[in-house]
A and B are shown apart, each in its own frame.
Chain A
């Protein structure tokens, strides 16, 4: 049984290696893998989960190759990943505010990793749409237009998500509970 399957895999591997060269579509998909991993890592703050998301994204993209008629492959891939992550969160039915909030009123102020952990916790506090918008703009360098397409909303909505995300992170990093009003 196993040897029959192995033979089949071997044969197809051979055909792939000699006859068919990778299409430019697949090259473009492949070129985006590192950035997809980065975005997924920041979205989930979990390396393993992030690569699962990327894998599902790639499987879907490759399966839909015949449906892709030009256009921005990068935006399309980020759209798939964003949707898959949204589905994941929906299925988790997780509350956007996690226990981290209560357990860590003030950001860590010591240790070499403190900066990285702070920003991770701050990202944790955001609702998913805001986190997506911020990461797509700041980490992936996408334009507001592209983010609007990925999120399926007007540019104005992207900008207000960005504004809310930044305001919340600032409050958190300034060391105040998000619930408290800022007093200056």
Chain B
């Protein structure tokens, strides 16, 4: 694979060059200390993989990715051990190395890059079919797509549930238990026998209730400890 390195630190570039020299699958065809120089090169040359430092002054690694129309595979390099998941919002990012890294870790990333092209389409297809952020509800024989993060409150109303989202409310023939099982457990919580709420939408909490926009939702005594555990309390 033809690769380039983009890192403002010469030591980091030297290390990647050395590790690449010991790996037969990669060939370093360019090494750049800033993103602008690299973009000029990329406008005239094709590469298969970029080793990209995220944290560069004035123009970050993420800025560079956004400027590329068809970015090649990218392995990010970073000194942040608590690396943000933001990286995987970009389809082209194959892996990331936390500096300093060794040959074994470097080689593992290269293997991922080599298999990335073949797996990508399958993974993408799977993700489309089984999008974890989406829920379909059946109303009048129509399946309506709901983006799960937009759901604020689910309220049990007899044989029905009232689903309140950022945009619209829906009444669906279902049970609270059924929908609770479909919602991600890290953001949704049953706070009362008749209510499941999206904890990200809470504005205010009192002793036995929470405020979500204009709705005051009761919190039962038995569910309160779990709610308090979930909150990022100061």
* A and B interact physically: no
